[in-house]
Amino acid sequence: MSSLAILSVDWQTLADAVGLGSIYALMAVGIGLVFGVLRLVNFAYGQLVMAGAYALAFASERGWPVGVGIALCFGVVLVLSLLMDRLVFRPLRAHSPAVMLVATFAVAFLLQSIALLWFGPLGKISASLASLNQPVTISGIDIRKIAIVATGLTVLCLVLLVVLLGRTNVGLHMRAAAMDFSTAQLLGVRAGRVIGAAVLISGVLAAIVAVMLTVQTPLVTPDFALRDTILVLAGVVLGGMNSLVPATLGGFAIGFASGLLGGALPTDKSQYLPSFLFAAVILVLLIRPGGLFTREGQRAVERV
């Protein structure tokens, strides 16, 4: 097995890191899309993923076929994201980003506790896609299938999204709304439709993330995806909130760093991994508060 000399990282760790980075990048897109239109940071995004994971575990426990499980996962996540939009986002639309962040923080805890009430603290196993954890051997290097699937699926989603945002009418409207919501509205962009589309796409991405994360961690507990969301949020702010590409890159970067350091550091150091990651995030925020991957003079649209 060949290795990267500097960090003594083997290719397997590298592939896993790319896989994790891809999953985080998708979450970052999901959070970034809604932020673009609504200026709302959805702290409860991870709980959408959690709900999807429970749907998968539910189907897997009953021995339903994989396809049915995935369909159920999509159904649950989409219904929940539409409900979240209707019940929480819509009444909060006029408030400051800070208030909305606190509100979605509350929603996250609410959903997590509902899962705790409903399914108990012990967790459920989602095993139907466990075969994706098997390695394949490519020129002498073992790489887990999920790392390949996650990377491929993410690239596919991002390409589709680029096409959707760049080549379709609704995509044009969404970009216009992200740039300046009220002007876009004056020019005939229908607010409800744009927000609905953003919420739906973000929900679809959450469902895909749920499928891939349950392969990575088959044990679904009420705090499933909570840690990931915190990291992705940090990554999104790190990359730059005001447009999708920096946010996605930020999400990828933090997932990649997390996967790489987690695999490369010895155990007595890797327990401090969250500290390293967040220290790095804070450092970047101090040096470039507008985001790491944004151009100069292009700052997030928010005050205080």
Residues at the contact surface with other proteins, assessed by CB under 8 A: 41, 88, 91-92, 94-99, 101-103, 105-107, 109-110, 112-114, 116-117, 121, 222, 230, 233-234, 237, 241, 271-272, 274-275, 278-279, 281-282, 285-286, 289, 300, 302-304
**Smallest gap from residue 97 Cβ to other proteins (A):** 6
Q: 180 vs 302, which CB is nearer to other proteins?
A: 302
Positive or negative: CA dihedral 173, 175, 176, 182: positive
Q: 109 vs 293, which CB is nearer to other proteins?
A: 109
d(CA 131, CA 219): 15
Q: 102 vs 245, which CB is nearer to other proteins?
A: 102
What is the CA angle 45-48-54, rounded to 5? 145
Q: Residues with Cβ < 8 Å from 289, sequence gap 6 or more?
A: 299
Q: 166 vs 289, which CB is nearer to other proteins?
A: 289
Place of tokens 């995806």: 225
Q: 59 vs 233, which CB is nearer to other proteins?
A: 233
**Smallest gap from residue 207 Cβ to other proteins (A):** 23
Q: 1 vs 304, which CB is nearer to other proteins?
A: 304
